[in-house]
Structure 1
Amino acid sequence: MGNFDFITADWPQIHNDCARAESYVITDPRSACIYARRSVETLVRHLYFLLDLAEPYRDDLVTLINEPAFRTGTKAPDVIVRKLNLLRKLGNTAVHESRDIPRSASHNALRELFHVVVWAAYNFSTHPDQVPVGKQFDAKLAAQSAPLPREAAAALIDKFRAADERHREELAARDNAIAELEAERTRLLAKLAAAQAAKTQPDDHDYKESETRDAYIDLLLHEAGWALDNPRDREFPVVGMPNESGKGFVDYVLWGEDGLPLGLVEAKRTRRNPEEGQHQAKLYADSLEQMTGQRPVIFYTNGYQHTIWDDGAGYPPRQVGGFYTADELALAIRRRTARKQLTHVPVNGDIAGRPYQRRAIAAIDHSLDHKQRSSLLVMATGSGKTRVTIALIDQLAKAGWVKRALFLADRTALVNQAVSAFKQHLPNTPTVNLLTEKATDGRVYVSTYPTMLNLINEVDHAARRFGPGYFDLVVVDEAHRSVYAKYGEIFAYFDSLLVGLTATPKDQVDHNTYRLFELEPGVPTDAYSLAEAVADGYLVPAQSVSISSKFLRQGARYDELSEAEK
């Protein structure tokens, strides 16, 4: 007997992976997490097939889960999507983490997998009345399940990493039998519709959102390097609170090596807006500051939406993709007093010495000094946008504002061109081309959008190399391009200063671009048009050349076209 026996008839393959995960929950937590993730991937792909959902532009699990078509087609509630993402992350951690995986991780994985399978089977199996919606995952039952023959961990991981390649092969084979698959889908849908229509019990299953929230926060903190293995890390008692007892308990305190608080995390229930935790978090920060002499950086979250508030630096709260590392928090606290006002730090005129280039940098400096974290420069092609960027990064580094910067371009040629320019003008600043040097450390990183998105999703040894606080500045080249629908996750993920560069005239830049940089439509941070550049003698006007073609002169006749042209 096992917790997942109710899907044996409908989904034997998924049941097999669930049963394996369950059998390893005590003896091999790593394998349990890996098989739980495999179960989720098989389930998600089955739902794509069953409901004939259009697959997204990428075929990896993170994209399949978070694709709007999947949420719409399955009517998956947010709590289920969160659980799917948690299982994906736990599985990835198990694959890449070299240290032991704790039993708590495998128990979390099996508990969340049970919730997901209950939801899926109740809504998409042909035996919904056999789904135990009134029960919870039985840890004792899982502990008693007889372990299946164990495979070597290395073989499991290799098998897991080869899953995408096998899936591509399966897709190719499936294309050769599309008619049979369509017939099978039609048969399954008819059987499913009849079974779902005959359901007699309501879905009153308790999906335990609070447990998912806590596991998610722990996972993200672990990815940021916080071990959370000291009793002081959780439920830390503070005094001086404005209540009757004067005491309180901070959900998480992130301590520095010197014993001073670097950050705190206030966790609110999933169904509540994390903004409700703002005032409570501030009171905790006040108490910690009184007790230790150092004001921590504030995070408050409901497990899925996270907000950072460094009120010690004068910034208002803002959304962030996760948590900072210890080094990043320590640097943020030092900057409260160490960084200089930008109007007092000179710009290297050998890099950007033209008047309009200095004006553009001064405009960005003014915005940054006034707590505006995003800027957009509209500059004609050939007027030196890259030089302005290099001079700006040089100035920000000298002023203590920027330690690491990321320059994003949409083509490999532009990446290589930018790398050469940085190395020429800032020879003492390590510059990394992430297309060819993914494991190299530096101060300036240059990448295309797809490469950076892949690197964001990578977890190595249970930690993310590029966490939300890794870069202090992100520069977006060709910011007018329609890249945000596909790669907007990059800008939402990194909690950095943001500078956009575009040669598109300011009145032709779309409203979404202005919105991304928190600007009024038509009002960039600074603009230098082609007409101005020509008038100033820095550029020459374009010369039009009239050309013709046989098609324009003679037209085309359908019966004269080849079969391929028709």
Structure 2
Amino acid sequence: MKQSMNFEHIQTKWPELHQLAAFAEDYVISDPQSALVKLRCFAEKVVGYLYKELRLPVFPNSNIYDKLTSDDFTSVVPSLITGKLHAIRKSGNQAAHEGKVDQQQAIWILKESYFVASYLFMAYAGGQQEDCPEFTIPEQTKPTDQSGAEFVKKNKQLEKQLAENEARLKKALEELEASEKAQKLAQIEASKLKQAIDSEKVSQVQSLNKKITSSFKFDEAETRARIIDMDLRAAGWNVSLDESSTDEVGKEVDLPHQPTNSGNGRADYVLWDDDGKPLAVIEAKRTRESVEKGREQAKIYADALEKEYGQRPVIFYSNGYDIRILDDAQGYNSRKLYGYYSKDSLQYLIKQRTLKKNLNQTPIDTDVAGRMYQMETISRVCERFTNKHRKSLIVQATGTGKTRVSIALAKRLLDAGWAKRVLFLCDRKELRKQAGNAFNEFTKEPLYVVGKSKKEAASSARVFIATYPGMMRIFQKYDVGYFDLIVADESHRSIYNIYGDIFKYFDALEVGLTATPVEMVSRSTCQLFGCDFKMPTANYPLEQAIEDGNLVPYKIVSFTTKFLREGISKDNLSDEQIAELEEQGIDPNELDFD
């Protein structure tokens, strides 16, 4: 069994967590990427344990973010611990998907994992503070340039280390994938049991939380600042590793015109443009406080920067893991973000203030969508966007030209300066090909078809076309502000599963296209796109299309199948079907075939 410097106190009760942390600690210096993936797996299992121990309700398809932000979870787990779990989650995802990590980040996340382990030990194992070891920082060495091909050739020892790191990373990623699958299966089983929350256990933990968090130094301020720094780096900003400022990111920036006795104040962060003007201001609040408390303070800082530099910055405010943007210069209310805008995206957001034309007066390309109902649909969506709504739903019968409507809509937004880049999503390769051909035929915009076009074409493309699975593989390569408009074809089904993460990630105007919206109390396509229940932005149903002569009446033809004639029984299931059911967490022996 692997020994550790910082996690021996959890070895007895949680040996699996102990081993994950011990191995991460062992190569946090030599292989920070693998260490962070290990710790991401550690966090996954910690959250899973807490849900199981407290019998908290969870949806079968919930991911770690969903579980961390659940009201049931945040009501019983202290916010400063939740913040640390978010930090581990974000760093682990960054290591798994991007690989842009270093020793300093890995050591910080190891320390955050130590704090989580210590909380777990004191709150759930009856441990005492004096039994928690002092955190020991592993001895650091000067980072090696692992991308230097010439150096690798000259140094056989480094070559061997890189091979070991690659194998270790592969194993860590496999462990993480297995852990996520195990959690999903556990969630499926938990949803079947429909257990009530263990109120007695929850009450005990809540009474312990105050005592633990007040006596144990959890370094909340460091966690908050480090998360913000990490998120800014992920968006491409040059952020210092300490409290100093860079030419792009100012920290603790002195500002005049403040409502203080001295008339001065300090903004937590200011993001600077190349010309020395402020692009954005960031106000950081304590994790335990509502993120909205930072809104008014951030507006005061923005007022001061506008007065000083003649340009109003975009406003961000955050408590570390919860980020919000307020683009009040364009009249929008605040909204939640997955991350921060890159410099390029912020520059365009500022330019939009002067580039934007009147959307409702910008001509519709009637060569693309010239039928009355198509033009009415485009007009309704544009009116909704003009009124500062950011989501719309178009319901049109199959065969009435939803793709043409989306192309004409995208052209209108591009022509009016409302969009720089458009993402069109569909659920099948055949539809991707159809959409690609249609955009090529009716627009002159540079096009990038994900999974088909040459990769170098992506940097200059203004229209991206992708299947949902194809975009899932690459979407985190782009910053949250990269696209200005996302069009989701077949949105009645694709947006409810894991592909919904794409819409959570990008901060863009959204348009859903469907012929058959889902309208249930628990799941409404209309409400998902910001519309009232059963009230889409535009609706052109089958009956109306037939009445107008745009579609012909349908004819019902009945067929039969072997399944309908003979039914199905457990004995007739193939090995592949049984395996597929078991992967979904379904026991074939429990199914009622009668």
Contact 1:6 1:131 in 2 (8 A): no
Partner of 2:500: 488
Contact 2:39 2:88 in 1 (8 A): no
Is 1:512 paired with 2:524?
yes
Whole-Å separation in 1 of the counterparts to 2:176 and 2:139: 32
Whole-Å separation in 2 of the counterparts to 1:287 and 1:226: 23
2:403 to 386, 396, 399: 386
Is 1:451 paired with 2:470?
yes
Contact 2:518 2:524 in 1 (8 A): no
Question: How much has 1:405 moved relative to structure 2?
Answer: 1.0
Contact 2:79 2:288 in 1 (8 A): no
Contact 1:506 1:523 in 2 (8 A): no
Contact 2:283 2:298 in 1 (8 A): yes
Please tell me the root mean square deviation across aligned C-alpha atoms, in Å. Answer: 4.2
Contact 1:17 1:36 in 2 (8 A): no
Question: How much has 1:285 moved relative to structure 2?
Answer: 0.5
Question: How much has 1:495 moved relative to structure 2?
Answer: 0.9
TM-score, length basis structure 2? 0.75
Is 1:540 paired with 2:552?
yes
Is 1:259 paired with 2:263?
no
Contact 1:118 1:133 in 2 (8 A): no
* Matching residue's letter, 1:515: Q
Equivalent position SS for 1:298: strand
Question: Alpha carbons of 1:55 and 1:372: their partners in 2 closer, same or farther (altered >3 Å)?
Answer: closer
Contact 2:341 2:481 in 1 (8 A): yes
Whole-Å separation in 2 of the counterparts to 1:96 and 1:376: 32
Is 1:431 paired with 2:447?
yes
Partner of 1:524: 536
Contact 2:94 2:100 in 1 (8 A): no
Equivalent position SS for 1:245: coil
- 1:66-465 mapped onto 2 (5 Å cutoff): 66-67=66-67, 79-91=80-92, 93=94, 101=102, 103=104, 105-122=105-122, 128-129=126-127, 132=130, 137-139=135-137, 142-143=138-139, 152-165=161-174, 203=212, 205-229=216-240, 231=245, 233-426=250-443, 428-437=444-453, 439=455, 440-441=457-458, 442-456=461-475, 458=476, 465=477
* Matching residue's letter, 1:4: F
Question: Alpha carbons of 1:517 and 1:330: their partners in 2 closer, same or farther (altered >3 Å)?
Answer: same
Whole-Å separation in 2 of the counterparts to 1:37 and 1:411: 32
Contact 2:79 2:287 in 1 (8 A): no
Deviations 1:489-541 (A, max 9, x none): 32222111111111127988986222222222232222212222222221101
Question: Alpha carbons of 1:305 and 1:39: their partners in 2 closer, same or farther (altered >3 Å)?
Answer: closer
Question: Alpha carbons of 1:209 and 1:512: their partners in 2 closer, same or farther (altered >3 Å)?
Answer: farther
Whole-Å separation in 1 of the counterparts to 2:512 and 2:543: 21
* Matching residue's letter, 1:5: E
Contact 2:9 2:132 in 1 (8 A): no
Equivalent position SS for 2:299: helix
Where in structure 2 are there 5+ consecutive unaligned residues? Answer: 142-156, 182-200, 574-592
Question: Alpha carbons of 1:485 and 1:425: their partners in 2 closer, same or farther (altered >3 Å)?
Answer: same
Whole-Å separation in 1 of the counterparts to 2:571 and 2:100: 61
Question: How much has 1:122 moved relative to structure 2?
Answer: 4.2
Contact 2:24 2:38 in 1 (8 A): no
Contact 1:134 1:205 in 2 (8 A): no
1:2 to 2, 5, 8: 5
Equivalent position SS for 2:292: helix
Whole-Å separation in 1 of the counterparts to 2:69 and 2:226: 27
Contact 1:469 1:495 in 2 (8 A): yes
Question: Alpha carbons of 1:247 and 1:389: their partners in 2 closer, same or farther (altered >3 Å)?
Answer: same
Whole-Å separation in 2 of the counterparts to 1:106 and 1:308: 28
Partner of 1:564: 572
Whole-Å separation in 1 of the counterparts to 2:69 and 2:300: 42
Partner of 1:179: none
Question: How much has 1:228 moved relative to structure 2?
Answer: 2.0
Partner of 2:576: none
Of the structure 1 ranges 499-508 and 520-529, higher mean CA displacement relative to structure 2 is found in 499-508
Of the structure 1 ranges 487-496 and 204-213, higher mean CA displacement relative to structure 2 is found in 204-213
Question: How much has 1:254 moved relative to structure 2?
Answer: 0.4
Question: Alpha carbons of 1:421 and 1:489: their partners in 2 closer, same or farther (altered >3 Å)?
Answer: same
Deviations 1:382-423 (A, max 9, x none): 000000101111111111111111112233332232222222
* Matching residue's letter, 2:338: G
Contact 2:9 2:133 in 1 (8 A): no
Equivalent position SS for 2:300: helix
Question: How much has 1:42 moved relative to structure 2?
Answer: 5.0
Question: How much has 1:358 moved relative to structure 2?
Answer: 1.2
Contact 2:37 2:92 in 1 (8 A): yes
Question: Alpha carbons of 1:383 and 1:107: their partners in 2 closer, same or farther (altered >3 Å)?
Answer: same
Question: How much has 1:349 moved relative to structure 2?
Answer: 1.5
* Matching residue's letter, 1:333: I
Of the structure 1 ranges 16-25 and 207-216, higher mean CA displacement relative to structure 2 is found in 16-25
Question: Alpha carbons of 1:4 and 1:170: their partners in 2 closer, same or farther (altered >3 Å)?
Answer: closer
* Matching residue's letter, 1:255: W
Partner of 2:41: 41
Whole-Å separation in 2 of the counterparts to 1:562 and 1:225: 54
TM-score, length basis structure 1? 0.78
Deviations 1:136-165 (A, max 9, x none): 5344xx4499xxx99724531442134344
Contact 1:505 1:529 in 2 (8 A): no
Question: Alpha carbons of 1:243 and 1:529: their partners in 2 closer, same or farther (altered >3 Å)?
Answer: same
Contact 1:118 1:132 in 2 (8 A): no
Where in structure 1 are there 5+ consecutive unaligned residues? Answer: 173-192, 459-464
Counting aligned pairs with the same residue, the percent is: 38
* Matching residue's letter, 1:137: F
Equivalent position SS for 1:432: strand
Deviations 1:226-281 (A, max 9, x none): 11236261010110112221111010000011110001100111111111111111
Question: How much has 1:339 moved relative to structure 2?
Answer: 1.1
